[in-house]
């Protein structure tokens, strides 16, 4: 299928770009030195200042720092001058009520990933609750536009394949900033690839059934519109703003 081939080519090119940038940054990173740095002996042990239950950014294994800095800068400008203006227009055009209904539909679709990964982690209770949420919200909740399941004592159990890998002892691996999507780790990126592949397979099955009589060009336009709306909705629901951290201006 043409769409699948195109998607595979895009994934392959993106992977090649990341590998090229990472290898190019390795030599660049090795040339960085802090000259004239004065080291002051600590008066108290670090254990008195940190919470052992929290993983701090400074503790992250970051062998690809150069690439991550450059990608962070790219994300900063893309988010500020491209993505957020689109999101602002989306929020201006649609009433909050409609935005919430759209978010509910996409969140309901995401429950399929929650269900799969709860099963893989052998979490019986969470699996049963998630399955119940899908049934209730897909029917009574009108395809997820509403969330009666939460009101009926079935809270969301958010899981992804990265968490599944962690559940079975796979380490987080190197810190990695993804294009557009932002900070991650090698483990969570691998999980994202698996979740995306599973979601794509589900979408292909659903689209082939629902749009059986729709022409190929129209089907592609509809799928593109749905994918774009999902991306905008996801960014709409994230309050983080790069410019609020002030980090991007200091990452040269």
Q: How confident is the model at residue 240 (pLDDT cuts 50, 70, 90)?
A: confident
Query: How is residue 77 written in tokens?
Result: 């400008």
Q: Are 251 and 72 in contact (CB under 8 A)?
A: yes
The burial of 165, by beta-carbon neighbours within 10 Å (0-12 exposed, 13-18 middle, 19 or more buried), is given as buried
Q: Which residue has the higher pLDDT, 156 or 245?
A: 156
Q: Which residue has the higher pLDDT, 1 or 157?
A: 157
Percent of residues, the chain, with pLDDT higher than 70: 68
Which of these, 69, 73, 77, 74, lies nearest to 32 by C-alpha position?
69
Give the mean model confidence (pLDDT) for residues 168-174: 94
Average pLDDT, the chain: 80
pLDDT at 146 > cutoff 50? yes
Query: How is residue 176 written in tokens?
Result: 């990695």
Give the mean model confidence (pLDDT) for residues 5-34: 52
Query: How is residue 133 written in tokens?
Result: 């949420």
What is the structure's pLDDT at 242?
Answer: 78
pLDDT digits (tens, 9 = 90+) for 28-69: 544 444 455 455 555 555 555 555 444 555 567 889 999 999
Q: Are 187 and 172 in contact (CB under 8 A)?
A: yes
pLDDT at 252 > cutoff 50? no
Which of these, 233, 245, 247, lies nearest to 96 by C-alpha position?
233
Query: How is residue 162 written in tokens?
Result: 């990265």
pLDDT digits (tens, 9 = 90+) for 184-217: 999 999 999 999 988 888 877 766 666 666 666 6
What is the structure's pLDDT at 21?
Answer: 55
């Amino acid at each position: 299928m043409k769409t699948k081939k195109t998607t595979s080519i895009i994934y392959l090119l993106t992977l090649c770009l990341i590998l090229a940038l990472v290898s190019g940054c390795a030599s660049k990173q090795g040339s960085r030195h802090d000259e004239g740095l004065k080291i002051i002996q600590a008066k108290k042990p670090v254990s008195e200042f940190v919470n052992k239950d929290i993983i701090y950014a400074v503790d992250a294994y970051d062998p690809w720092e150069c690439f991550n800095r450059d990608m962070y800068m790219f994300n900063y400008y893309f988010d500020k001058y491209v993505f957020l203006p689109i999101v602002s227009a989306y929020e201006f055009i649609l009433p909050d009520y409609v935005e919430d209904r759209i978010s509910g539909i996409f969140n309901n679709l995401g429950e399929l990933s929650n269900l799969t990964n709860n099963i893989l982690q052998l979490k019986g209770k969470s699996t049963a609750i998630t399955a119940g949420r899908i049934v209730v919200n897909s029917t009574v909740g009108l395809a997820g536009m509403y969330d009666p399941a939460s009101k009926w004592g079935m809270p969301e159990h958010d899981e992804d394949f990265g968490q599944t890998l962690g559940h079975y002892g796979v380490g987080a691996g190197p810190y990695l900033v993804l294009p557009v999507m932002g900070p991650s780790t090698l483990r969570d990126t691998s999980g994202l690839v698996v979740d995306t592949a599973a979601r794509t397979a589900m979408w292909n099955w659903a689209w082939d059934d629902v749009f059986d009589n729709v022409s190929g060009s129209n089907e592609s336009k509809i799928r593109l519109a749905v994918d774009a709306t999902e991306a905008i909705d996801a960014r709409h629901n994230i309050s983080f703003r790069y410019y609020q951290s002030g980090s991007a201006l200091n990452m040269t």
